[in-house]
Amino acid sequence: MKQSFVGEDFDPDNTLVEGLPTNDVSNYYRAHLTSGIEQVPACHSLRREGIYPDVDVVYYFGAVGPKMSFIMNPGSTPSDLQLQFTGQDSLGVDLAGQLVL
């Protein structure tokens, strides 16, 4: 599954800021990487600032997997926030109001 930000106000050159650092490292081994990527400094979260005017997104991991939260700063327009999902086999909202993919 792939998630993308879309819309005329999306800024693809926004700033990525490391969140709360840890003393851990991560290693990534994927089929298209011959030797993998090792010893990547890990952190509790990552923040992308200015994905839309006055809107930031924070990526983090919860008990059931990856999560993201949007920070709507003063002056932001929530209707500018547009997400596009491709490759999932279902998309919906559960009884608690959570997006389920």
* Domain limits, the chain: 2-19+45-89
What confidence tier does 99 reach under pLDDT thresholds 50, 70, 90? confident
Q: What is the pLDDT of residues 8-25, one digit of tens each?
A: 888 888 888 877 778 888
Q: Quick one: which of 63, 81, 82, 86 has its CA closest to 71?
A: 81
What confidence tier does 32 reach under pLDDT thresholds 50, 70, 90? confident
What is the secondary structure of 11-56 as a DSSP string?
-TTPEEEE-SEEEEEEEE--TT-SS-EEEEEEESEEEEEEEETTEE
Q: What is the pLDDT of residues 80-96, one digit of tens each?
A: 888 888 888 888 899 98
